[in-house]
Structure 1
Amino acid sequence: MAISSALRRAPWAAACGLLASRSSWRVHPPQGHRAEFSAPLSFLYGPQPGAAADAHLLRVINYEISCAQLDCKKRDWAKELGERFPFEIQDKEGTNRITLTRRDQKERIEVEVFLPSPADSVEQNGEQKDRVEDDNRQGHASNAAANQYYIPLVVKIHKGPASWLEISCRSYPDELAIESLAFGPREESVDSSDIEAKISNLPEEFEQAFHSYLKSRAISSDVTNFLHAYMINKECHEYLAWLRKLKGLIKR
């Protein structure tokens, strides 16, 4: 599938890793005059060491670009979704998010959707993976593989000019997990702990009720499945654009 092939390369994570590793490079000057003049004079006639390093880096970048071009797909989302998709999509190139908007009766709904993130090593219910019983390990392993990444969602429902409800979620490939909720308007005299809560600190009925609440506002499995495809595709294109900008800088 196109989704799994793009995810397999984890392009944005690779880009971040490349930046992090390069930030630790240092150039050490020669120690003393003797070391400074001990190098042969052939460097005056051959390629400079910096030029060789630049050429090597460009080869690596070109290889990554060729791989990313194979992974990235140009998709006509409007044609694929048709007129039934309940949200308007706002996508700005060079950013790590998109925004979905819609109006429903007296409400204005905004959904901020972020690029995929690696899943935690801890179970969603807070228990460690190694506590799984031996007879359940096979089923747990398949579930862990499916949940190796998630897409952060922030659903903000505006009720009138000042009041709002904000629900933070993690969308896994097979599940939507609600993390926390907050509501406003915010007032300076009100402690943030009075209007924000982790869903895990509330009765289980709260999470079930909020799942129904979100579904009634078009945050359904069909929409989240689309968002996974869209954001993985966006991640690939953002990584490809980043590589091309980096190549242009190195070639100067």
Structure 2
Amino acid sequence: MARRLLRPLSRTLLSPLSSFTKKLIPHQQPYLSFETRTYVSEMRKSAFEGNLLRLLRNEIHYELEHSPPSQPVPEFNSFTVDERQGEQWIRLSRKFGENEEIKVEVTMFDGSLPIKKPCKIGTEEEVTLHITLIVDIYKGEGNEVLEFVCSAWPDSIEIRKIFMRSHDQMAGQPYMGPGFKGLDDELQESLYEFLEARGIDDDLAAFLHEYMKNKDKTEFIRWMGTVKTFIEKK
């Protein structure tokens, strides 16, 4: 009786295909076929991409539902606005007087400055956003350009640099002029008035901040849509 019980038990313990042995020695498990591994991999990929697409669709829907961007404004005062869809900057242009042409290249928000505001428990820190403007002024058929590099804060324009350059290209090592803050105060004031006469003023700064807030949202939604379309491709 004992022998009859031991034989089947020994076969079970020694069999390489027994569940007990397979748990102890996983490397002896039969390999999955190439087709099975490919199928499992495709299923995992499909599930991952499906979840990613769901998240993108939800985010796009949320943005469009709760705070949809408005149509970009094509003009401001005497400036024509070139929206530059899909890019990180816009261009403004206008004529001034009989022989001046003004072009302004404007970045999206590219910096910030911390500020402290009073609150009920003391002060709290916020940030004010910064936009860079490059103002080019051309006169007649000449080859020279007077260029201002400015910062646009939410309600003001700040001149950072002024220099002359060639219409065609920059020189190898151009003299960039003195630091603006190092100029005589009266000269600084006159240069601000020079720009203000051409529409580069605090009102333009306020307009650009609102415009770029809208562009930032528009480009974000466009970016998500582009990513979604790419992932959906087979």
TM-score between the two structures when normalised by the length of structure 2: 0.69
Amino acid at match of 2:53: L
**Aligned position for 1:16:** none
Alignment partner of 1:64 is 2:59: yes
- Distance (whole Å) between structure 2 residues aligned to residue 180 and residue 71 of structure 1: 37
Distance 1:199 1:241, change over 3 A: same
**Aligned position for 1:209:** 190
Check the 8 A contact 2:72/2:83 in 1, yes or no. Answer: no
Measure how far apart 1:173 and its partner are.
0.9
Check the 8 A contact 1:171/1:177 in 2, yes or no. Answer: yes
Measure how far apart 1:45 and its partner are.
6.5
Amino acid at match of 2:59: E
- Distance (whole Å) between structure 2 residues aligned to residue 152 and residue 220 of structure 1: 14
More strand by share: 2
Q: Which runs of 5+ in 2 are unaligned?
A: 1-26
Alignment partner of 1:198 is 2:198: no
- Distance (whole Å) between structure 2 residues aligned to residue 141 and residue 184 of structure 1: 45
Q: Which runs of 5+ in 1 are unaligned?
A: 1-33, 122-128, 130-135
Distance 1:250 1:210, change over 3 A: same
Q: Does the residue aligned with 1:113 lie in a helix, a strand or coil?
A: strand
Q: How does 1:1-252 map to 2 (within 5 A)?
A: 44=39, 48-69=43-64, 70-75=66-71, 77=73, 85-105=77-97, 106-120=99-113, 138=118, 145=126, 147-160=127-140, 161-185=142-166, 191-192=173-174, 194-252=175-233
- Distance (whole Å) between structure 1 residues aligned to residue 38 and residue 171 of structure 2: 69
Distance 1:243 1:221, change over 3 A: same
TM-score between the two structures when normalised by the length of structure 1: 0.65
Q: Does the residue aligned with 1:77 lie in a helix, a strand or coil?
A: coil
Larger Rg computed on CA atoms: 2
**Aligned position for 1:27:** none
Q: Does the residue aligned with 2:226 lie in a helix, a strand or coil?
A: helix
Q: Does the residue aligned with 1:54 lie in a helix, a strand or coil?
A: helix
Identity among equivalent positions (%) equals 23
The structure showing larger relative contact order (alpha-carbon pairs under 8 Å, at least 6 residues apart) is 1
Q: Deviations over 1:131-187 (max 9, x none)?
A: xxxxx8749967x63x52112111111123211111111111132222212212389
Measure how far apart 1:44 and its partner are.
4.6
Check the 8 A contact 1:96/1:115 in 2, yes or no. Answer: yes
Check the 8 A contact 1:199/1:206 in 2, yes or no. Answer: no
Distance 1:180 1:141, change over 3 A: farther
- Distance (whole Å) between structure 2 residues aligned to residue 117 and residue 65 of structure 1: 24
